[in-house]
Amino acid sequence: MSIRTAQRLLIGTVLLLAAPALAETNFKTWLNQVIVELKTKAKEDADRARVAVSVRSNTNQDEAPSMSANTSSLVDTSSASDLVGVALNLAGLSGSTQSSNEATDTTTTAATVSAYALYSAVQGADPLDPGRYCAPAAQWARSLSITLGYDDQSSDMDGSSPIIAGAKVLLPWLNSRNVCDDEAFEDVTRALIPAAERYANIDMKVADRFYDAYGVAQTKLPSDVRAEVDEKLKQARNRALAADPPDDANVARKIEFLNLLNDPVFFEAYLAALGDQAIPIVVDAVGPQGLDPFIHLDEQAAKAIEEFQEAPQIAFSFLTKQREDGSDDYQGQAILDIGLARRLNLTVNGSYEGSRGGMQSASNGGRVAAQVQFQPLSDDLSGPKTLRLSLGFDGAWKTGGGPTYKGQFKINLPVPRIQALAGLEFPLSVTVANRSELIDETEVVGLVGFTLDTSQVLAGLLGI
Amino acid sequence: MAQKTRRVRKIAGGKPKPRRKTTARVSARKGFTARSGPVVAASPVEVTCKPGADKAAVQLRVSRGEKIRYELLFRGAQATFAVVDQHGVVILSNQDPPVAPGRYLKVWPGPGDAVKVPDDLNHVLGLHFIAATAYAWRATRVAANGTALEPLKDCVYERSSQTDNFFDPLRVFTA
């Protein structure tokens, strides 16, 4: 048995199994679905890559910035949500070997808003409107985000809550993940053209065979449906003959029939009348040329999305933590995001960190952090984000103190199956440090919090 | 597999009584006004067409100067679509310049289009949802003087996921 024959047998088997589920629709949606079923089965081993672009970017920062006393984020990522991201990290679940440290009793709340969201709000426009989304001003505005938050430090000596404020800019000329780039999806268009051509050929063959089969299949139609169809076909023929000059009556009759196939009631009845004949008609129309253009289209789309997610992205941020009393902290940071492999993303931070004011002398230091994030499950893009696992390292040095090293394991838990909560997740993290801020002892801190990406929530509510 | 099939009590043209769409449309933007017609969506893509504006075939009297006006609008960052016939001739695609942001237009046959009479063509609209969340597609048969003669397509297609694609054919019999 040749490979082609085996493929056709497989296709026929698949169609026979799939047929009952496909019955309730009209001709065009039925044929679309048949082709989806066929190609899905034909590439059984190929995962349909379903990863997000833009709204579902894997580098959007929803968590409080790493500068916060009690954040589950060891690194900062290069992008922000298109609208507003809200993060709340509850007081730490401490496993520390020492009793008092800044992080343990701190609740951090931070909101990150893109200038695009503010720009849209000022203009009273829908930020998800397509005409606006790729406008040059919108792209620039989406590159800039502002963070505002505070650490609620009940254990602080003066009871005050430091304010965290900052801005982050994603440099457009260094951003390889621009969804508005005209060339980003060129290969998908190139693959779509032969797929549409192939569809046109299959559709013509199937529709013509359905038309030719009417003479026999009509006897199995319900009598009222048959009478109505016959009358319509007769009228179409008569209209053609009555035209001046007369139209081709046979063509007119065929056009009428093809249009009836788009009527769900007639199509359903006709599909039932065709019975077992319908499936072999499609199999014959697919023929030895197969469905390669459709499979190629899926592959190109998956490739485009993966390339998009793996492309490097660089951002620069400035953050400050302002205290009523005591020294203020400052941080200038470079952030790199790059995809290492499918669903595996690396984020690297390099920053200057210093403090000024207060009773203590000014200090200067630096920090390097890196995080590898793995998404174990494929993303179907239509609902909540999927589970994400992260492993991070952070090293910080400053004048007047020893170095601090931290390692972190984190799980981002989404809320599954609830579209309206698509932007909500719960980051759970365990951090191990060689010392706390104040004393040289090993520290283990567990954190739980939640993050809310409002662009995701809005997309869920709008069904987009 | 989502099944959202509209049933009408009689075949279209014979006093159809479509049920109202039960799925709420939260927003209706320009070109995406809510359709009250049958919803036919066995595929993951939700397709909603206005009643009487989902033709599968049309006779186009090219010899009398009749044309088809195609118009596509979309929601999202970028449109990825192509209107192609069975010979691979591209009639309109996102590689053509839009007439306005988010709006593509083509009157077929144009001055450079070679058309045989009679002929049997299949103009298929192929859509991909990689960077768009919805498309609106209109096709109208127009007279030589530009007067609209008959609506052929007035449909909205909405994705359920970013990897969705959909094909909508229109058989064109030239005369």
Q: Is the pLDDT of residue A402 over 90?
A: no
Residue B101 lies in a domain: yes
Domain that holds residue B153: 53-174
Taking a contact as any Cβ pair under 8 Å apart, which residues of chain A between 129 and 168 contact chain B? 129-131, 133-135
Worst-scoring range by mean pLDDT, A65-79, A175-189, A343-357? A65-79
Tell me which residue range forms the domain holding A290. 3-52+187-301
Whole-prediction pTM: 0.70
What integer is the mean pLDDT of A164-188?
Answer: 81
Residue of A nearest to B97 (CA): A182
The CATH number of the domain holding residue A168 is 2.40.160.40
Token reading at A188: 């998908």
User: What integer pLDDT is reported at residue B126 of this predicted model?
Assistant: 97
Query: Is A325 a member of any domain?
Result: yes
Which of A301, A321, A347 delimits the end of a domain? A301
Residue B142: its pLDDT value, please?
98
Report the gap between the CA of A280 and the closest CA in chain B (Å): 20
Residue A66 lies in a domain: no
Nearest to A130 among B77, B82, B130 (CB): B77
Q: How far is B15 from chain A (nearest CA, A)?
A: 12
pLDDT tens-digit series, residues B19-34: 333 232 323 344 454 3
Preferred mutation among A139, A257, A265 to probe B, highest tally of B CBs within 10 A: A265
Determine the residue among A203, A270, A300 to mutate to test chain B binding: the one whose Cβ has the most chain B Cβ atoms within 10 Å: A203
Asked if B88 lies within 8 A of A197 by C-beta distance, the reply is: yes
Q: What is the ipTM of this complex?
A: 0.83
In a domain, B110, yes or no: yes
pLDDT tens for A19-56 read 433 334 789 888 888 888 777 766 543 333 332 344 34
The answer, for A285 touching chain B at a CB cutoff of 8 Å, is no
Asked whether residue B32 is domain-assigned, the answer is: no
- Does residue A425 fall inside a structural domain? yes
Is the pLDDT at A121 greater than 60? The verdict is yes
pLDDT averaged over 10-residue windows placed end to end, chain B, 175 residues: 37 42 33 42 76 96 96 90 97 94 94 93 96 93 96 93 90 97
In a domain, B85, yes or no: yes
User: Which of the pair, A65 or A233, is modelled with greater confidence?
Assistant: A233
Chain A residue whose CA is closest to B101: A131
Q: In the predicted model, what is the mean pLDDT of residues A429-440?
A: 71
What average pLDDT score do residues A367-392 get?
78
C-alpha–C-alpha distance, residues A445 and A295, integer Å: 48
Judge whether residue A279 has pLDDT over 90.
no
* A202 vs A418, higher pLDDT: A202
Tell me which residues of chain A, numbers 313 to 332, contact chain B at a CB-CB cutoff of 8 Å.
Answer: none
Work out the minimum CA distance from B111 to partner chain A, whole angstroms.
Answer: 22
Both A458 and A316 in one domain: the answer is yes
Domains of chain A: total? 2
Domain edge (last residue) among A301, A329, A358: A301
Residue among A17, A24, A29, A296 with most chain B CBs within 10 A, to mutate: A29
